[in-house]
Each structure stands twice: as C-alpha cells, then as structure tokens.
Amino acid sequence: MTASLLYFSFIGHYIADSLSHASFAWALISFLTVVAIGFFSASLVKIAGATDLNTKKIENDLIVSFRLAIFLGVIIVVIIAVIGTSASRSITNDSELEALIALFTLSLSIPALYLQIVIFNFFNATKKTIYEVIYTWSFNATLASACIILVTTNTNFNFIHFAFIYSGLRLVFTCLALALFDLRIRQHIFHFSHSQPIPKTTYVNYFVNGLPMAICFGGESLLYFIFPFISKTIGDTSLSAYQASLHFLSFVYMISIGVGNATGIGVARYYGLKDFNSLRATYSQGIMFGLFILLPILVACFFLKEEISIIYSSDTTTRRLIEDNILISIPFLLFEYIYVVTRMTLRSMGDFWVPTLMTILSLNILGLILSTGLLSLHDYSVSSLFVTLVFCSLFLMLILLWRLGHVLKK
C-alpha cells in the first residue's frame, strides 16, 4: 500500500494529466491482485494449520501454488494485451492510446505479484514475517528513490515510463524473494523440487479450495472496481477524489488484513485441536488488538483530513472532496475491520461459502442498490458512494458476527 501511495502521489503531482488513466489502471491491477490474495489464501491456512510441513501434501500444494501463480499471471497479461490491441484500432486520441500502453506495461507486474503472494504466504504461515517486512520496505525505498531521481534529474518522463519502472522493480524484487525461498524451504521440506510431477487431482483440489475465497475477495473488490466507472460519470474530479479516498481507506484496510490473517493462523491451530476456549480467546484478542491500533487512525482521519488530502492532490476542489469522503468513511473503517477479522476466523474454521455469499450479498447486491438509490434520489455526488460503503459494511459486520456465534454454538 505504501508502494501504491508513492504511485498515486508521484503521478498526482508530477504527471497530473495522466491521473485519471493511472487510477483506472491501478483499479484493474488491484482487483486482480486482491482476487489472487483470496485464491492463494487457502494455501496459507493449510500451511498454518499443519503440524508437520515435511509431507508430500504440503510440498505438492506449494509447487501447484507457484505454477498457478505464473500461469494465471501470464494469462492475464496476454488477455490485457489482446484486448488492448483490439481497442487501439478504434482509438484516435493519443492520450487514450498512451493509457492502453501504460495499462499493459503495468500489467507485466501481475505474475511477479502473484509469485510474491505465494512466497510470503509460506513465510508468514511459518511465522517468518520479518522476511516480508524487509522485502516490502526495501521495495518501497527503491521505488521512492526512482521517483526522486526522475524528479531531481528533470527527466522527460510520462506515465508509460513510470509504469515500466514499477513493473521492472516488481520483477527484480520477486526474483530476489524466490531466491530466498529456495534458500530456506529445505529447512522445512527436505527434498523440495519445483520440477517434480504433480497429479492432476491436486490442481483440481487446489482450485476447489481456493475458489471460495477468490470469489469472496473478488466479490468484495468488484464494488470498488465498479465505483470508479460511476465516479467517471459524475466528473473527472470526482473520479480522482474517489480513487484517492479509496486508496487511503485501502491503506488502513491493511491493518484489517494483517490482524485478520494473524488471528486466522491462531484460530486454525486451535480449531484443528478442537480447543474452542482458546479459539474464542484468540478471536477476542485479535479484535481488541486491532482496535487498539485502529482507533488512533480514526481520530487522525477526523482531525488530519486536510493533511491527508494534500498527499494526493494540490487541486483545491479534489482535496475538498477527498476530505469529505474520509470523514464519511470513519464508521466504515471500524465496521470493515470487525467483519474482516470475523470472516477470516470463519474461514480458518472451514466455513468458506456462507461468508462468501454474505459478502457478495452485502457489498455487491446491496451496495449497487443503495448507491443507485442515493445517487438518484439523494445526492448525485461521490459522497453518496462512501455513504453506501458505510451501510454495506455495517450490514456485513452484523450478519458475519451472527454467523460466527451460530457456528461456535454448533
């Protein structure tokens, strides 16, 4: 998320004419990445709950993860290239053509991102989280340095150049992460090899296990992917303000993801042991720990909204919209945190499909109905979209809490 903050801030201040194109490109890349996080999370839970990693089952699961990460990533790049080539034939505007090329260039980072997810799922599940911390902040520092060099050297650059730099750095750092994985994996799986044959049934089972969370993550992100198109109909300023506001909310969302994954890893172990008292205690501790981190951020959203908005844009109108959106979204961040931790807890207990359907119902179906109603009958502005998120997240939080209580009673 810090890398994406650098992305938006750099483009918003130094390639401002490309901000709307950059927003759409990032929305697509983010959506595809979030779906992959959900898809590969099944492997994270499986490794976290294993009492012995040196087994054929875990080894095959890891190999399939790597192969699917590369295969799916390359397929997406090819699809974007084909669609982009077809669309370019009817484009006469140089700006739109540049946007397509930049989107393709940015999409080259997807295979690297998918591999990154697989590698650090393993390290995080085995409690080697320090590796991802070092990786993430090394990448951030390198990307920030590249931005500084572009600015200080007065280089003539555009969005395509920046997208190429971003994707190139992703590929380089993922190669480094893969080298680290190969160096450490045999401490856990003694005869691990990427090239060994895998039964077809293993691939089928992997898809069956990963699909519910991929659909859930995709279902949740789909609403955020649709909203930029709605914002575009309101105006370019609304689109920029929506994407900047959403990025800030996504930045805070990483707290929910981090605490949710940590809670889920603990819950998976206790669920496997049928120790339900410890399971309940782990869930409660996860909720309280995250709220301790989150509450100061919510206070900062109220008092420092102007300082937050200036990070993304120097345009006064855009900044005012961002500030309004952040203020509206304070309850959303609280509700979102609780439902994310609760949903991850349910997944770690083997409850996949019901939370998935609850998420799709709350965010996509209810979200589109509410947003359409608010835009038509109340206020045709980007603020209506964030009011929608507040009500949807509240509803989803309540039904997931009910579901957790129901499952624990059983």
pLDDT in tens, 394-404: 999 999 999 99
Q: Does 236 lie in the same domain as 320?
A: yes
Residue 54 CB contacts under 8 Å (≥ 6 apart), including other chains: 188, 189, 190
Question: Tens digit of pLDDT for each residue in 78-126?
Answer: 999 999 888 888 877 777 788 888 889 999 999 999 999 999 998 888 8
Q: Does 353 lie in the same domain as 228?
A: yes
- Overall pTM > 0.95: no
Tokens of 7: 């992305």
In the predicted model, what is the mean pLDDT of the chain? 88
Residue 210 lies in a domain: no
Helices (H), 304-382: 305-312, 316-328, 330-348, 353-359, 366-373
Q: Does 236 lie in the same domain as 177?
A: no
Question: Tens digit of pLDDT for each residue in 351-372?
Answer: 878 888 898 899 889 999 999 9
Tokens of 221: 């992100």
Q: Does 265 lie in the same domain as 335?
A: yes
User: Which pLDDT band holds residue 393 (cuts at 50, 70, 90)?
Assistant: very high
Residue 409 lies in a domain: yes
pLDDT at 47: 81
Q: Does 248 lie in the same domain as 357?
A: yes
Residue 205 lies in a domain: no
Domain extent, residue 261, equals 220-410
User: Which pLDDT band holds residue 317 (cuts at 50, 70, 90)?
Assistant: confident
Q: Does 355 lie in the same domain as 296?
A: yes
Average pLDDT over residues 359-387: 91
Distance between CA atoms of residues 383 and 253, nearest Å: 19
Residue 213 lies in a domain: no
Residue 212 lies in a domain: no
Residue 206 lies in a domain: no
* Helices 110-125 & 236-273 angle (0-180, nearest 10): 30
Average pLDDT over residues 223-231: 86
Residue 139 lies in a domain: yes
Split into its structural domains, the chain has a count of 2
Residue 282 lies in a domain: yes
Q: Is the pLDDT of residue 323 over 90?
A: yes
Of 146, 168, 198, the residue that ends a domain is: 198
Q: Does 46 lie in the same domain as 136?
A: yes
Question: Tens digit of pLDDT for each residue in 174-185?
Answer: 999 999 998 888
Q: Does 335 lie in the same domain as 244?
A: yes
Q: Does 239 lie in the same domain as 189?
A: no
Q: Does 247 lie in the same domain as 99?
A: no
